[in-house]
Chains A and B, each alone.
Chain A
Amino acid sequence: MALRKTASPAVKLDSLSDVNDLGKPWRFTDEDTGLTVTRSCVWSPPGCHPVGCGLKLYTDENGRLVKVEGDENHPVTQGRLCVRCIALKDYEYNNSRILHPMKRDRDKRGQADAWEEITWDEALDLIEERYTEITGKYGKESFVNFGGTGREGGVSCMTYTAMVWQTPNACYTQSGYACYFPRLAAGTMSAGLVYPEMDYAGCLPGRYDDPEYHVPEAVVLWGKVPTVSNPDGAFGHAVIDLMKRGSKLIMVDSRVNWLTTRAAYHLQLRPGTDTAIGMAMLDVIIREGLYDHDFVEKWCYGFEQLAERVATMPPEKAAEICGVPAEDIIGAARLYANAEAATIQWGLATDQKTNGMQQAQCIIALMAITGNIDRPGGQITTGGAVALDADTEEDDEYMPYMALDDDELRGKMIGLKEYPAYCGMSQNSHADLTLRCMETDEPYPLRIGAFAGNNLLACTSAEPKRWEAAINRSLEFVIGFDCFMTPSIQAVCDIVLPLATVVERDSTVAAAYGSAPLYFGTQNKCVDEGDCRGDLELLYILGKRLNPKRFEEFDSYYDLLQFLRFGKSRMFEELREQVCIQSKNEYYKYEKGLMRPDGAPGFNTPTGRVELYNLGFQQFGDDPLPYYEEPDFSPISTPELLEDYPFVLTTGARTYAFFHSEHRQIPRLRELNPNPLVEINPETAKKLGVVDGQWCRVFNQFGEAYLKAKLTVSVKPDVIHAQHGWWFPEEDGNAPHNYGVCRSNINNLIPNFHVGKLGFGAPFKCMLCNVEGTDENFDTDMQLIQDKFGELR
């Protein structure tokens, strides 16, 4: 994706006073305080998805970060900032950060006081020695790299595996890769589009008032609350900007949230039934002839078959399945289809169900048949011509990953035979089958591993205790790198490397992973801290050691950065002076031959059209048309379980305070949400004898978790919602307690191996459970958190 030459002057917010820093260079001296200000587009850590928000980082004469403020020069964030970067100083100088490499004997895993501080040279020697020994004995494929979400390290996981570890087994450790990738896969297989994003004028210099832009009349937020979440790299509050400009909201969400109270339609469906809503909306739009006839005729494949299929799910039938009035489904479909421009943000909930790929298929079909793909104010896309491979001579500033170039080794990827679509597209071993491999040594033993931005015991993985046991059973040596000790590193790692934060290293960020034309920024270093190294710098250092031939062409970390992240004609120094450059974009690329590598008009699919009848799905053994399937555990599919587990469990609604399992040790953030919460409808709580604030045991046939009751009509009486990602850094880190990571982990209730036909999707948002009140009191003592973590280094 090409960038504009330079940064455009930002559009000033009305609330910003006349005295401000608009127009200031990337580094300047603040006139009032004499402090040095470094402007930066930050990503992680602290954890976030790549929104690349604009920050002004104030450092004193000793190079200490003393203040953080939103950068009003940023084209999209315009000075606005969320709590996690506002409290960046408290993260940076938190007294529990890991600042030096440490090692521990394998037989002392789980012992928090057994770590021994070592030098970088010792750490690299040890890693090289064990890597050479173990992969020499079991093969390169015996290495598994556990990737996490969002953070730079997690996203670089495939590049690590290909370039440094030289193993086919990068593994995002969530069952069914139930996060983001199923949507990418559906987008790619349906339309050759990586991720059609809501168009919020992020790449236009005039933003919402740019003559090229059209404010959408309708915005659909489907399984997503973008204001609270870190919505896949989009600036969530853009939705508020659009509402101010007249956009009407359609919300598809199982909970009443703040946005639903401002929505024209709120389809409050039973968790996990989204595909039925999608099919019914398509049925309404097709039956009433509200679709874009011209677009369908020219650019869609399989419309008749789709029409026939969705006719089997009229709104009345969906209404019954989903528990939503049929007239609301009809009204929402009409509002969406009748808009001149309408846009959909599709959320994580899409991925967190076994039937999720079919939901994704419906959503792509909605975008397509209404002609909203690549229309101003509709879905913005990069087009299909963006390669995911970094090895290109093009001046493309985005975030690709490297693929393993050894085909024989690549063929050993765990799950490639069983789930070729999943493994082939994501370049990841299949999560569930990787778990089984560590339990059984089938098809071959995994014996060495590393974590890349992943805290799987607290956050990512279903049945976390099972993952812990499997890792400790199979892996002889495990490498961790992070800013803080996590329960996962504490339980299973033998060496830990200190990770630099976003202010301690130079790097780049492409908003939304570069999957939509938005902007590209530089993360500019302003602080030196301990022995810490950035995610990509670590990749460079480890690569030089373990795969020196591959890294011969790089004389410095900056050479590698340039190779991986931006074009050949510009240098980092040049880009960083611009801080943030918007992308160039053309709408209606499919008409102009800009979506296919061969330059022909149309979409980058075998038929050149958006495949409503999906040949890719068919090729890989799934139905080419969307179909509704009940969750594996639900009131309809397993009525026999209702006596024991009468409630539908949905999990993981986001909070402003935390990025997944991060930030629990930042007092000013923890204070916003001190305890793990379970939301229960007051009517239900009354029947259960549970009062507001009481600690409850939430349980099902797979496990249990203790959470604090929040009584709210956000959830319907038959639905329970539980927060995710909880652990307690203030508690004892020694096994078996391990920071209390098991106590409140809602993933104890989520099984592995309930994935869709293509291997994608898992039931994190739609299980069954029961709840009982307890006499326990696990309330967090905020004074203790303040005393333990409040004093900065």
Chain B
Amino acid sequence: MEAMGLLIDYELCTGCQSCEVSCKEEHDYPVGKWGIRVLDDGPWEIEPGHYNWNKIPVPSDLCDLCIDRTSRGREPICVHHCLANVMTYGSVCELAKKMDGTKRQVIFTPVYKPYEKLRD
């Protein structure tokens, strides 16, 4: 099976947390449980006047890539609601073609509850 993933153009991720809350609503995750979290790296100064500040949505071990939605042809709910429109769902091969090294990007291929396979 083709590996599916999320391409995130974190160059322009504003950290709006729509992915986090969408995921909680879609999967009914309560306080303390997350399917995706926005990693907040910054601000810290690289040199005077220039800061590193990247916000990167990172799927957790509760991310199932919205299998209920994607099996019906819809995109994961985090992708649908992303205010900056910087998330894309697709096959990793197709997503990789959208990476050309000119901007900050990352592809995630999350696995849902990976611990369930630890004793297999």
Q: Secondary structure of the B side of the interface?
A: mixed
**Is A81's CB within 8 Å of the partner chain B?**
yes
| B interface footprint on A753-793 (CB within 8 Å = 1, 0 otherwise) | 00000000000000000000000000000110110001000
Central interface residue in B24, B82, B85, by most chain A CB within 10 Å? B85
Task: Given A15-B88, A16-B75, A256-B43, decide whether A81 and B81 contact each other with a Cβ distance below 8 A.
Answer: yes
Q: Say yes or no: B18 contacts A80, CB within 8 Å.
A: yes
Comparing A175-183, A209-217, A475-483, A668-676, the segment that makes contact with chain B is A668-676
Task: Given A668-B24, A668-B31, A786-B30, decide whether A17 and B17 contact each other with a Cβ distance below 8 A.
Answer: no
Q: Say yes or no: B32 contacts A13, CB within 8 Å.
A: no
Q: Which one, B16, B25, B75, contacts A15 given CB within 8 A?
A: B75
**Is A271's CB within 8 Å of the partner chain B?**
no
Query: Shortest distance in angstroms between A375's beta carbon and chain B's nearest beta carbon?
Result: 26
Q: Which one, B30, B32, B44, contacts A713 given CB within 8 A?
A: B44
Task: Given A17-B74, A227-B83, decide whether A86 and B21 contact each other with a Cβ distance below 8 A.
Answer: yes
Chain B residue nearest to A243 in the complex (CB): B12
Q: Say yes or no: B73 contacts A17, CB within 8 Å.
A: yes
| A interface footprint on B64-101 (CB within 8 Å = 1, 0 otherwise) | 00000000111101011111111111000000000000
Q: Give the chain B neighbours of A67 by CB distance below 8 A.
A: 25
**Is A237's CB within 8 Å of the partner chain B?**
yes
Chain A residue nearest to B71 in the complex (CB): A32
Chain B residue nearest to A88 in the complex (CB): B25
Chain A residue nearest to B14 in the complex (CB): A227
Q: Say yes or no: A32 contacts B72, CB within 8 Å.
A: yes
**Is B120's CB within 8 Å of the partner chain A?**
no
Q: Say yes or no: B31 contacts A83, CB within 8 Å.
A: no
**Is A68's CB within 8 Å of the partner chain B?**
yes
Query: Shortest distance in angstroms between B113's beta carbon and chain A's nearest beta carbon?
Result: 21
Interface residues of A in 44-74 (CB under 8 A from B): 67-70, 72
Q: Say yes or no: B84 contacts A237, CB within 8 Å.
A: yes
Q: Say yes or no: A19 contacts B80, CB within 8 Å.
A: no
Q: Say yes or no: A261 contacts B32, CB within 8 Å.
A: no
Q: Say yes or no: A261 contacts B51, CB within 8 Å.
A: yes
Q: Say yes or no: B18 contacts A713, CB within 8 Å.
A: no
Complex CA distance for A786 and B32, rounded to whole angstroms:
9
Q: Give the chain B neighbours of A712 by CB distance below 8 A.
A: 43
Task: Given A256-B43, A261-B42, decide whether A83 and B30 contact each other with a Cβ distance below 8 A.
Answer: no
Complex CA distance for A69 and B22, rounded to whole angstroms:
9
Q: Give the chain A neighbours of B32 by CB distance below 8 A.
A: 671, 782-783, 786
Query: Shortest distance in angstroms between B81's beta carbon and chain A's nearest beta carbon?
Result: 5
Complex CA distance for A32 and B31, rounded to whole angstroms:
28
Q: Give the chain A neighbours of B49 by CB distance below 8 A.
A: 266
Task: Given A244-B12, A258-B14, decide whether A16 and B25 contact each other with a Cβ distance below 8 A.
Answer: no
**Is A119's CB within 8 Å of the partner chain B?**
no
Complex CA distance for A90 and B21, rounded to whole angstroms:
11
Query: Shortest distance in angstroms between B80's beta carbon and chain A's nearest beta carbon?
Result: 6
Task: Given A240-B14, A668-B21, decide whether A19 and B73 contact each other with a Cβ distance below 8 A.
Answer: yes
Q: Give the chain A neighbours of B87 by CB distance below 8 A.
A: 15
**Is A20's CB within 8 Å of the partner chain B?**
yes
Interface residues of A in 568-608 (CB under 8 A from B): none
**Is A138's CB within 8 Å of the partner chain B?**
no
**Is A89's CB within 8 Å of the partner chain B?**
yes
Q: Give the chain B neighbours of A70 by CB distance below 8 A.
A: 80-81
Query: Shortest distance in angstroms between A53's beta carbon and chain B's nearest beta carbon?
Result: 10
Q: Give the chain A neighbours of B47 by CB distance below 8 A.
A: none
Q: Say yes or no: B73 contacts A714, CB within 8 Å.
A: no
Q: Give the chain A neighbours of B20 by CB distance below 8 A.
A: 83, 672
**Is B108's CB within 8 Å of the partner chain A?**
no
Central interface residue in A240, A243, A259, by most chain B CB within 10 Å? A240
Q: Say yes or no: A714 contacts B83, CB within 8 Å.
A: no
Interface residue count for A (Cβ, 8 Å)?
A: 54
**Is A620's CB within 8 Å of the partner chain B?**
no
Interface residue count for B (Cβ, 8 Å)?
A: 40
Q: Say yes or no: B30 contacts A79, CB within 8 Å.
A: no
**Is A18's CB within 8 Å of the partner chain B?**
yes
Q: Say yes or no: B88 contacts A82, CB within 8 Å.
A: no
Complex CA distance for A18 and B72, rounded to whole angstroms:
11
Q: Say yes or no: A82 contacts B83, CB within 8 Å.
A: yes
Q: Give the chain A neighbours of B72 by CB distance below 8 A.
A: 19, 32
Complex CA distance for A267 and B84, rounded to whole angstroms:
24
**Is A288's CB within 8 Å of the partner chain B?**
no
Q: Say yes or no: B17 contacts A83, CB within 8 Å.
A: yes
Task: Given A18-B73, A258-B53, decide whether A81 and B43 contact each other with a Cβ distance below 8 A.
Answer: no
Query: Shortest distance in angstroms between B96's beta carbon and chain A's nearest beta carbon?
Result: 16
Q: Give the chain B neighbours of A408 by CB distance below 8 A.
A: none
Q: Say yes or no: B25 contacts A785, CB within 8 Å.
A: no
Complex CA distance for A261 and B50, rounded to whole angstroms:
7
**Is B15's CB within 8 Å of the partner chain A?**
yes
Complex CA distance for A87 and B85, rounded to whole angstroms:
19
Q: Say yes or no: B55 contacts A667, CB within 8 Å.
A: no
Q: Give the chain A neighbours of B44 by CB distance below 8 A.
A: 713
Q: Give the chain B neighbours of A262 by CB distance below 8 A.
A: 12
Complex CA distance for A133 and B15, rounded to whole angstroms:
53
Q: Give the chain B neighbours of A18 by CB distance below 8 A.
A: 73
**Is A444's CB within 8 Å of the partner chain B?**
no
Q: Say yes or no: A240 contacts B30, CB within 8 Å.
A: no
Q: Give the chain B neighbours of A19 by CB distance below 8 A.
A: 72-74
Q: Say yes or no: A668 contacts B73, CB within 8 Å.
A: no
**Is B2's CB within 8 Å of the partner chain A?**
no
Q: Say yes or no: B73 contacts A82, CB within 8 Å.
A: no
Q: Which one, B53, B73, B85, contacts A240 given CB within 8 A?
A: B85
**Is A14's CB within 8 Å of the partner chain B?**
yes
**Is B116's CB within 8 Å of the partner chain A?**
no
Complex CA distance for A236 and B21, rounded to whole angstroms:
19
Q: Give the chain A neighbours of B55 by CB distance below 8 A.
A: 258
Chain B residue nearest to A239 in the complex (CB): B14
Q: Say yes or no: A713 contacts B43, CB within 8 Å.
A: yes
Complex CA distance for A14 and B80, rounded to whole angstroms:
11
Q: Which one, A82, A258, A260, contacts B18 given CB within 8 A?
A: A82
Q: Give the chain A neighbours of B50 by CB distance below 8 A.
A: 261
Query: Shortest distance in angstroms between A86's beta carbon and chain B's nearest beta carbon?
Result: 5
Chain A residue nearest to B52 in the complex (CB): A261
Q: Say yes or no: A227 contacts B25, CB within 8 Å.
A: no
Q: Say yes or no: B82 contacts A80, CB within 8 Å.
A: yes
Q: Which one, B18, B53, B89, contacts A86 given CB within 8 A?
A: B18
Complex CA distance for A68 and B18, rounded to whole angstroms:
13
**Is A702's CB within 8 Å of the partner chain B?**
no
Q: Give the chain B neighbours of A13 by CB distance below 8 A.
A: 85
Query: Shortest distance in angstroms between A315's beta carbon and chain B's nearest beta carbon?
Result: 17
Complex CA distance for A262 and B9, rounded to whole angstroms:
14
Complex CA distance for A68 and B87, rounded to whole angstroms:
20
Central interface residue in B17, B21, B74, B77, by most chain A CB within 10 Å? B21
Q: Give the chain A neighbours of B74 by CB distance below 8 A.
A: 17, 19-20
Chain B residue nearest to A87 in the complex (CB): B21
Q: Say yes or no: B21 contacts A669, CB within 8 Å.
A: yes
Query: Shortest distance in angstroms between B19's beta carbon and chain A's nearest beta carbon?
Result: 10
Chain B residue nearest to A268 in the complex (CB): B49
Chain B residue nearest to A655 in the complex (CB): B17
Query: Shortest distance in angstroms between A710's beta carbon and chain B's nearest beta carbon?
Result: 11
Q: Give the chain B neighbours of A20 by CB distance below 8 A.
A: 74
| Shortest beta-carbon contacts, A-B, top 6 | A19-B73, A786-B31, A83-B21, A237-B83, A261-B53, A17-B75
A to B CB contacts below 8 Å, 19 in the list:
A16-B80, A19-B74, A20-B74, A80-B83, A80-B85, A81-B22, A83-B21, A86-B21, A86-B25, A90-B25, A228-B16, A237-B14, A237-B83, A240-B83, A261-B53, A672-B17, A672-B20, A783-B32, A785-B31
